Structure 1
C-alpha cells in the first residue's frame, strides 16, 4: 500500500469536497435571493449549480443545514472584510466610522448576500438550538461595537453611556439596510453611511451634553 498516494488522494478529495460545498452555498444564496426563501428548494439550488439534489444531500444532511451554512457564510465574509479595516484605525472615533462605513460598503458590494439573508429571516422558523446559533453571530457583532465604545470611554473620546445600548442601536440602524436594498435599489448607500457616521459621532461625542 502506498501511504503517500493515499494521503495525496485524501487531500485532493477534501479540496474538491470543500470547493463543491462552497459552490453549493453560493448557488443557494443566489437562488434564495432571486426566487425567495420559500421557493428555493434543493431542486432549484441543484439546477442552478448544475448538479443533482443527491450531490447536495451528500454534502449537507438537510436544507436546514445548508441554510445554516449560508447564514454563516454571509456573516463570516462580512467580518473578514471589516475586521482588518477597523483594526487599522488608531482611535475609537475612527474605529466607529470605519465600522459603519465598511459594514455598509460590504452590503453594497454583496447585495445578493443581503437579499438572501433578508429572505431567510423572513421565511425561516428556527428549530430548537438554531436560535442560539443566530444569536451568537448577532452577539459577536454587538460585542465588537461594545469594545470600541469601552475603548473610547476609557481614553476620553466618548461620553458616558451604555456601550451595549449604543451597540444595539447602531446594529439596528445598519441592519435596516437590506430591506432598503430590496425596496429602494437606487438608494445611495455611501450617503447613507456618511449620515449614520455623523449621527453616531454626535451621539457619542464627549463634548455633547444630553
Structure 2
C-alpha cells in the first residue's frame, strides 16, 4: 500500500512529491544529454544521487518514470500557454498564440523538449505496441483543444469550413518540424519561423471576403 500511494502524487506527502519531481527532473536531463537508450534507471539514479531502489519506490519502472516525464513536459507547457490563449479575444488570435507560444516554449525549455523528442522517437516497441501511452493521450488532448478553437472560429464566422482534425494534425506536424530542426541545429531559434507558420495557417483558415 505504501508503495502504491507513493506513486499517486495526489495522495503522497510533500517529501514524496518533492522526490518524484527531483527524479523526473533528473530523467529529463539524462534523456536530453545521453538519449533514450542510455537513460537507464541506474544512470538517472546516479544523477539524482540516490539508489536505483529509490526510483522503484516512486515509480513502477522505467516506462512509468518516462511517462511521468511526458506528463511533466505537457503540464508545464499547458501552464505556460493556456492563460494567454484563453484571454485572446478571437479564435484566430488564440490559434496564433498557440503556434507562436509553443515555439517560445520550445526555446525556453530545450532540455524538456529534447527529452520529449527522445521518448516520442522510441514510443513504440519493435512489435509495434505503444510503449509510452501517456504521449498518445497528451497529444490527443492537445489536438482536441485545437479543435475547440477551430469550431469556435467557425461558429463566430472567423473561419471558413475545413476539416478540424486535418487542420489540427497539420499544425501539430508543422510544429514537430520546428522541433526537428532544433534537434539538428542547437542554435536554431524556432520563434521567427513560428510567426511565419502562424501567417500561413491564418490565410488557410480565414473566410475569404466575397
Which category describes the TM-score, using the shorter chain as reference length? 0.7 to 0.9
- Residue in 2 that maps onto 1:43: 42
**RMSD after superposition:** 1.8
TM-score normalised to the size of structure 1?
0.88
Unaligned runs of 5+ in 2: 1-11
Q: What SS does structure 2 have at the residue aligned with 1:176?
A: helix
Q: How many angstroms does 1:207 deviate by?
A: 1.5
Q: What SS does structure 2 have at the residue aligned with 1:203?
A: helix
Say if 1:139 and 1:130 are closer, same or farther in 2 by CA, change over 3 A.
Answer: same
Q: How many angstroms does 1:111 deviate by?
A: 0.7
Larger Rg, first or second structure (1 or 2): 1
Residues 202 and 208 in structure 1, CA contact (< 8 A), matched pair in contact too: no
- Residue in 2 that maps onto 1:200: 201
1:36-185 equivalences under 5 Å are 36-125=35-124, 132-185=133-186
Q: What SS does structure 2 have at the residue aligned with 1:51?
A: coil
Aligned length: 197
Q: Distance in 1 between matches of 2:89 and 2:43?
A: 47
Q: Distance in 2 between matches of 1:90 and 1:54?
A: 50
TM-score normalised to the size of structure 2?
0.88
Once the two structures are overlaid, the 10-residue window that deviates more, 127-136 or 63-72, is 127-136
Q: Distance in 1 between matches of 2:26 and 2:70?
A: 13
